[in-house]
């Protein structure tokens, strides 16, 4: 009876170990020079102070990236979609400004442009300015601190 149980157990384990071996070989054969998957950047050589965390797909950043100050609080959050949705944070962790940008990776030089509506916040997280940007240039201030009616 013991030998029957032992033989059955061995028969069950052999296919599992061979599948695991095939899976490992398949992973080793994947040699793509472009970054794919989750990616971490660090401020220090010991990889203890996280600087950024995000995803790559075929060498391009995608999904949501979070960037951190050296003291650990969030510095910036970028959502990669058709346009970039960006939020900057103060050292205290409070929202500083948010808006949209365009990232041009297709040319030889990487271009990053603020584009569209940008909102600016004070230390108390009150909106004090709204500006319109086109390809990195401020075109118009839609609302500013001198406009008290809008901010009441």
- Compute the distance between CA of residue 5 and CA of residue 20 in angstroms, rounded to an integer: 23
Residues near 55 by beta carbon (within 8 Å), at least 6 away in sequence: 37, 38, 39, 61, 62, 63, 64, 65
- Contact (CB, 8 A) for 51 and 42: yes
The pLDDT, as a whole number, for residue 145 is 66
Q: Give this prediction's pTM.
A: 0.69
Distance of CA 18 to the CA centre of its chain: 37
Domain boundaries, the chain: 1-31, 37-151
Task: List CB contacts of 84: < 8 A, sequence separation 6 or more.
Answer: 78, 100, 101, 102, 103
Q: What CATH code is assigned to 37-151? A: 3.90.930
41-88 pLDDT, tens digit per residue, is: 999 888 889 999 999 988 888 999 999 998 889 999 999 988 899 999
**pLDDT-derived band at 148, boundaries 50, 70, 90:** low
Q: What is the mean pLDDT of the chain?
A: 77
């Amino acid at each position: 009876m013991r030998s029957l149980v032992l033989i059955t157990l061995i028969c069950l384990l052999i296919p599992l170990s061979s599948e695991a071996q095939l899976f490992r070989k398949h992973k080793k054969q994947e040699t793509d020079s472009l970054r794919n998957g989750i990616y971490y950047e660090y401020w220090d050589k010991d990889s203890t102070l996280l600087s950024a965390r995000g995803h790559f797909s075929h060498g391009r950043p995608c999904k949501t990236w979070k960037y951190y100050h050296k003291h650990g609080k969030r510095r910036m959050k970028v959502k990669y979609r058709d346009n970039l949705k960006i939020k900057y944070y103060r050292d205290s962790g409070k929202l500083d400004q948010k808006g949209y940008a365009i990232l041009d990776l297709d040319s030889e030089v990487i271009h990053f442009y603020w584009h569209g509506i940008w909102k600016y916040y004070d230390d108390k997280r009150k909106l004090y300015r709204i500006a319109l940007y086109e390809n990195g240039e401020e075109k118009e201030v839609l609302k500013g601190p001198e406009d008290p009616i809008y901010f009441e």
